[in-house]
């Protein structure tokens, strides 16, 4: 096995040593020795030492009640510090003899391949300039790290960078170490877990903070790199207004099953985004006004600045005043309705034009080297973020729209909309959409739920078009779901087009997506209201929860193929919106491979996807990391557009059909049909406790009930905590083993070698199986599960072993991830810190369940910290 890089190991050791010093200062040397015994016992036990296992168990069993929380905190912090070191290692200074990182060379190498494939310079430049990639930042119900700690972790990464120089003087190196010690002490003495559940506005502010502290810097640097690679390959530059990657958000707009997201919240978040954008641009313009002191200017700039001796400053100071007016208005409007004064910037053009005028003038006057500095960076930000920072999506469940229309039609004496057939619904909706008179009489008094739906539509109608993204309909299944939203928006006064996006989530919905969109596009008048691409959202979370990842992945693939064909037939552009999560069970995994595994034609210069919670932090929390991930997105979308993968062979389709059918049957036989599954799940995992924890603003359940009522994220999060990882692999063990027994192993190997879709699925399956641990899951059973339910746990762990054997056979390995030793080492090295946390968590769960009436206190806090630590150690948790 490859060892972790020596510099990474050195950083991890240093951070651990500094944390140990903090622990010793607070709790004494004896307590630190106890922590070290636990760590060494876990390490020895992992290597098969019975004595190490006994030492680990004995030390943990001997902990006093007052030691549970600090021990959990110690291992939680060790894992977070290891994450920081590993993340920094990806962006650290490279020695001249080290290979260039894949993320840095992926675009130049792709452009060389595209040129060799016959793509001309002009067409490549046009294609990159036209790319439409939108990353939609979403809140995460199980995001456990507090914002204040994230900021301290980022500062620790900065200090790792500060010491990464061989020529530091001893005094300089000591000062860095002192700052590191102070930051780690601050983190150690800060509570890891928030005491109260965050509000949707808190979540939106968290998203804005990622933009302010990372993406604001990363985007112009990323675009400089794209421009440089494009110029090196073609001699052409990226246009000033090019924004191949933009950002949207669901934070403050996603009201599906979250009663805390109201129309008032959406309005507040939209205003906060305008305030934040104005404030960020003010900082840029202040800097530019200080730097652009030049006198020589073009006639166009002189016409704006008059006879000022400092024309650039004159123009920029006017813009600065308008930005101040915009910021002041947005802040005042948060406290009550307030019409914007004339000085408030309303259109992106008003922000862009003064900056472009200065940019062009500098170039015209031979000062291009100045123009291409911070001024160019500011223009790139304007193109990407605009006046509104992120476009806010609205999401609501189809049933809420149907209920609102039922109330309306009942009031009008037309009967209940919910009771009508699909044909009758469509006929009514089309009639009303074409009708100029209002549907709602002035004296209509709606119920609270319908009033909220209508209030949300009024906020959409009142907001500037550029501040909003799409209106997503969860649990959509038919054309009427889309028309219903269009009608409600029309009634609210919306007179401009807005993308109304059906989200197909369950297995049946995915299979019906093609026919539903086909009928929708054929309806009279619908195309006239479309005004752009037909956007369709593909649900990864609920389809996998419904059917298992084997059948869900194939249904998602086939749905996309069908939608591509239907939109081509209707001569309509298609924009697919991928509702991916952080885990394999929710469509997660490396974005580059995932995009390249999509069906041919489904990524035609456009790509929209969700980025959730902790994955936002891991992928975009540091500017250099964000730059790497933006490079991967752009290169993958460009490659999938211009060099799409071949369509699968008919024989591969047939085999995939069989795998999916057998996978869903095996998955549902356990999750839906086994009579003991729900009680076992509730006893063996922290599912019930997760619902009590103040993690995200959204409830863990849509409604009361069994597994079907659980949201996909807590469903997966609970299994991840116990390391069984069941939702990510259940069904594959049966499907793969049956195929191998039928003599189809050679075809499976061929599919893995030649079909990116299948290869990516197997790679993701292998990665999650490497993180799974049946022995850890068994410890939870032994401590928490009734004896009568334990045979089911044994059965599930046997299925896990079968899945591992099938993947090893298919990949011709003796050990999972043998082909990726660095990834394997990264996973296994964390087990030394994870194992004690798992054992502690099982004990804490047992004690917590014995004291059901004792909410809060050190016991619950320790349980929360164990949840946070395991989530940190496994990275992609929900």
The catalytic residue positions are 140, 545
* b/e burial code for range 346-382 (CB count within 10 A of at least 16 → b): eebeebbebbbbbbebbebbebeebbeeebbbbbbbb
- Report the C-alpha gap between 708 and 690 in whole angstroms: 16
Task: Tell me which residue of 720, 710, 751, 755 sits closest to 869, measured CA to CA.
Answer: 720
- Report the C-alpha gap between 404 and 492 in whole angstroms: 13
- Report the C-alpha gap between 277 and 869 in whole angstroms: 34
Both structure tokens of 761: 């699925």
Contact 673, 768 (CB under 8 A): no
**Helix (H) or strand (E) segment spanning residue 610:** strand 606-612
Contact 730, 681 (CB under 8 A): no
C-alpha angle 492-257-196 in degrees, rounded to nearest 5: 115
- Report the C-alpha gap between 671 and 549 in whole angstroms: 13
> Please, which residues have CB within 8 angstroms of residue 98's CB and are 6 or more apart in sequence?
none
Both structure tokens of 416: 């209940």
Classify strands 606-612 and 534-539 as parallel, antiparallel or unpaired.
unpaired
Report which DSSP code applies to 702: S
Maximal C-alpha separation, the chain: 89
C-alpha angle 97-99-103 in degrees, rounded to nearest 5: 145
- Report the C-alpha gap between 157 and 88 in whole angstroms: 6
- Report the C-alpha gap between 302 and 286 in whole angstroms: 20
- Report the C-alpha gap between 81 and 237 in whole angstroms: 41
C-alpha angle 786-787-792 in degrees, rounded to nearest 5: 90
Both structure tokens of 783: 């401590």
- Report the C-alpha gap between 349 and 336 in whole angstroms: 27
Contact 629, 210 (CB under 8 A): no
Task: Tell me which residue of 130, 92, 255, 131 sits closest to 624, measured CA to CA.
Answer: 92
Contact 760, 593 (CB under 8 A): yes
Beta-bridged to residue 247, according to DSSP, are: 135
- Report the C-alpha gap between 605 and 242 in whole angstroms: 13
- Report the C-alpha gap between 481 and 484 in whole angstroms: 5
Task: Tell me which residue of 306, 294, 314 sits closest to 364, measured CA to CA.
Answer: 294
Contact 326, 344 (CB under 8 A): yes
- Report the C-alpha gap between 408 and 441 in whole angstroms: 10
């Amino acid at each position: 096995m490859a060892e972790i890089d020596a510099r990474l190991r050195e950083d991890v050791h240093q951070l651990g040593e500094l944390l140990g010093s903090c622990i010793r200062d607070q709790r004494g040397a004896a307590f630190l020795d106890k922590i070290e015994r636990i760590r060494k016992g876990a390490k020895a036990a992992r290597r098969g030492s019975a004595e190490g296992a006994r030492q680990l168990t004995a030390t943990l069993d001997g902990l006093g009640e007052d030691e549970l929380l600090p021990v959990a905190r110690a291992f939680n912090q060790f894992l977070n510090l290891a994450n920081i070191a590993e993340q920094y290692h990806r962006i650290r200074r490279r020695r001249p003899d080290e290979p260039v990182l894949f993320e840095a060379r992926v675009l130049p190498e792709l452009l060389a391949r595209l040129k060799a494939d016959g793509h001309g310079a002009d067409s490549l430049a046009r294609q990159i300039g036209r790319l439409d990639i939108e990353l939609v930042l979403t809140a995460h119900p199980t995001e456990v790290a507090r914002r204040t700690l994230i900021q301290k972790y980022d500062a620790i990464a900065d200090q790792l960078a500060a010491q990464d120089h061989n020529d530091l003087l001893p005094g300089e190196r000591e000062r860095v170490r002192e700052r590191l010690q102070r930051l780690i002490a601050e983190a150690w003495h800060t509570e890891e877990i928030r005491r109260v559940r965050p509000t949707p506005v808190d979540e939106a502010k968290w998203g804005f903070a990622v933009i302010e502290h990372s993406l604001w810097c990363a985007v112009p640097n990323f675009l400089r790199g794209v421009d440089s690679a494009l110029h090196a390959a073609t001699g052409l530059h990226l246009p000033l207004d090019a924004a191949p990657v933009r950002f949207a958000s669901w934070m403050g707009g996603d009201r599906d099953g979250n009663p805390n997201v109201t129309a008032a919240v959406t309005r507040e978040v939209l205003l906060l985004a305008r305030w934040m954008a104005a404030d960020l641009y003010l900082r840029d313009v202040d800097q530019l006004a200080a730097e652009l002191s030049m006198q020589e200017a073009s006639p166009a700039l002189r016409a704006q600045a008059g006879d000022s001796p400092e024309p650039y400053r004159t123009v920029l100071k006017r813009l600065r005043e308008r930005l101040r007016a915009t910021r002041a208005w947005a802040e005042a409007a948060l406290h009550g309705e307030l019409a914007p004064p004339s000085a408030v910037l309303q259109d992106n053009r008003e922000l862009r034009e003064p900056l472009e005028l200065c940019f062009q003038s500098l170039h015209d006057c031979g000062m291009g080297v100045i123009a291409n500095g911070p001024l160019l960076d500011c223009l790139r930000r304007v193109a990407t973020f605009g006046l509104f920072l992120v476009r806010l999506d609205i999401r609501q469940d189809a049933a809420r729209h149907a209920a609102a229309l039922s109330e309306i039609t009942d009031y009008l004496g037309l009967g209940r909309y919910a009771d009508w057939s699909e044909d009758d619904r469509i006929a009514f909706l089309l009639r009303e959409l074409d009708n100029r008179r209002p549907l709602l009489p002035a004296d209509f008094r709606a119920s609270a739920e319908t009033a909220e739906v209508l209030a949300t539509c009024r906020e959409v109608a009142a907001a500037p078009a550029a501040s909003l993204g799409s209106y997503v309909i969860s649990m959509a299944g038919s054309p009427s779901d889309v028309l219903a939203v269009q009608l409600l928006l029309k009634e609210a006064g919306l007179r401009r087009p807005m993308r109304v996006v059906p989200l197909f989530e369950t297995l049946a919905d995915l299979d019906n997506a093609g026919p539903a969109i086909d009928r929708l596009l054929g309806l009279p008048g619908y195309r006239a209201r479309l005004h752009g691409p037909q956007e369709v959202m593909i649900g990864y979370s609920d389809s996998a929860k419904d059917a298992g990842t084997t059948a869900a992945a194939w249904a998602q693939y086939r749905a996309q193929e069908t939608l591509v064909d239907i939109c081509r037939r209707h001569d309509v552009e298609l924009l697919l919106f991928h509702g991916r999560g952080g885990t394999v069970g929710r469509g997660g995994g490396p974005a580059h491979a995932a995009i390249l595994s999509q069906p041919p034609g489904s990524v035609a210069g456009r790509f929209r996807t969700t980025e959730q919670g902790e994955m936002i932090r891991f992928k975009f929390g540091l500017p250099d990391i964000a730059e790497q991930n933006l490079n991967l997105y752009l290169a993958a979308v460009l490659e999938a557009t211009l060099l799409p993968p071949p369509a699968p062979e008919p024989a591969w389709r047939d085999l995939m059909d069989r795998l999916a059918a057998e996978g869903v049957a095996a998955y549902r036989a356990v999750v839906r049909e086994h009579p003991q599954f729900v009680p076992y799940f509730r006893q063996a995992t922290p599912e019930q406790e997760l619902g009590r924890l103040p993690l995200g603003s959204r409830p863990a359940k849509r409604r009361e009930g069994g597994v079907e009522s659980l949201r996909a994220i807590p469903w997966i999060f609970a299994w991840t905590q116990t390391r069984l990882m069941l939702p990510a692999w259940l069904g594959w063990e049966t499907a793969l083993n049956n195929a191998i027994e039928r003599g189809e192993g050679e075809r499976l190997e061929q599919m893995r070698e030649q079909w990116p879709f299948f290869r990516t699925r197997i790679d993701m399956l292998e990665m999650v199986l490497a993180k799974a641990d049946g022995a850890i899951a068994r410890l939870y059973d032994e401590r928490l599960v009734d004896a009568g339910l334990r045979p089911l746990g044994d059965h599930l762990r046997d299925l896990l072993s079968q899945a591992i054997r099938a993947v090893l056979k298919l990949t011709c390995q003796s050990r999972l991830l043998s082909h990726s030793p660095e990834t394997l080492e990264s996973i296994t090295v964390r087990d030394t810190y994870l194992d004690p946390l798992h054992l502690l968590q099982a004990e804490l769960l047992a004690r917590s369940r014995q004291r059901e009436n004792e909410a809060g206190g050190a016991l619950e806090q320790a349980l929360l910290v164990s949840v946070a630590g395991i989530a940190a150690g496994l990275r992609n948790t929900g």
